[in-house]
Structure formats: C-alpha cells, structure tokens
Amino acid sequence: MVIKNIGYQVTTYSGESRQSPPFEILAGVTAGLAQAPLKFSLTLRHLEKYDLTFDYKATDQGGGEEKPDPEFFENLMRHAVIGAEIIPHRNFYLGLGYNYQRRSELKVESKAAGVGFTWGFGFTTSLLSIEFGRAAYHLAGASNHVSLIFRPDLLYKKLTD
C-alpha cells in the first residue's frame, strides 16, 4: 500500500496561490505460480475517491451534458491496473499490463489500437540490468522507457572477494 503526495507545498511559484499536491492512495498485490514462470499483479489506484469518470461538463466551455453515473463494475475497473510477467529464465522477463481507465478515456472510437496496454522486457547480468517498456496513451503516440541499472556494489564485492 502506498500513500502518494501527502504533504504541503512549502514554496509557491511566481506568486501563485499555494496548491495541494495530487494525493493518491494505491494498493497492490503480486502473486506467482509455484510451478510456472508466471506472475500476476493487480494494483488499485485512487482509493481515496469512488468516481473516477472524467467530468467533461466542468471543462466544456459550451456547457455540455451531465455525465451519467457510471455503473458499479465500470467504476471499479477504472481503479484497476492488471499485469502479467513471464520469466522464462532468471535473467530475462517479459511483462504485459492493462489500464482500463486510460483505455476508456483516451481511445479513439474508430481505432482503439493499443491504448491502455503496456509491455516491456528486461535482461539482467551480474552487474547490469537493461530494461525497456512501452505504454500506449493515445493513437497519436506512446512512451518508450529504457533503463540501465548498474550495480557497482556488486563489482566492488567481486573485487574484494
């Protein structure tokens, strides 16, 4: 369980009024199968608020329609992010994820493509890990992340052994 951004803005910028950081409560669990190289995860986001549907009326300059109350299951799914990890070798993994809220709010009806889905992979050696991840936010674009994790403490340990 994580409580994010609980606090107070100490310094304001350019004389703006003091703002609250974007508070969020998350809870997650990961479980693996005993005899298979699989792990499954479930993360529940924004546990501090029930309704996560975007209020388009508040941002619509023309005074749009009232947003309908979401059904219970629809709203529950907006809180959930699910994932799976395949680990064929202890030094390699493949990961997949799905964010229902991102897909439901950012997809284009004519072509949803991979919006809301994430995937990635990683290699690990004794001193270095290389990881890549891709998250599709919209039909127009996605983000790619590359991580290089160097463990100099392990190098030092090998030199002293």
Summarize pLDDT for 81-98 with one digit per residue, the tens: 999 999 999 999 999 999
Gyration radius from the chain CA atoms = 21
pLDDT at 114: 84
100-129 per-position pLDDT tens digit: 988 888 877 777 778 889 999 999 988 899
Average pLDDT over residues 49-75: 66
Q: Over the stretch 124-143, which tens digit does the pLDDT of each residue have? A: 988 899 999 999 888 778 89
Tokens of 96: 């997949």
Give the CA distances from residue 76 to residues 4, 23, 49, 66, 109, in Å, rounded to whole numbers and listed in that order: 20, 19, 11, 21, 22
* Average of per-residue pLDDT across 148-152: 89
Q: What is the pLDDT of residue 158?
A: 61
Q: Model-level pTM?
A: 0.73
Domain ranges of the chain: 2-160
DSSP 8-state symbol, 29: E
More confident residue, 94 or 61: 94
* Vertex 51: Cα angle to 46 and 52 (nearest 5): 60
- For residue 32, name the pLDDT band (cuts at 50, 70, 90): very high
Task: Please list, residue by residue across 57-90, b when 16 or more beta carbons sit within 10 angstroms of its beta carbon and e when fewer do.
Answer: eeeeeeeeeeeeebeeeeeebbbebebebebeee
Amino acid residing at 119:
W
pLDDT for the residue numbered 14: 83
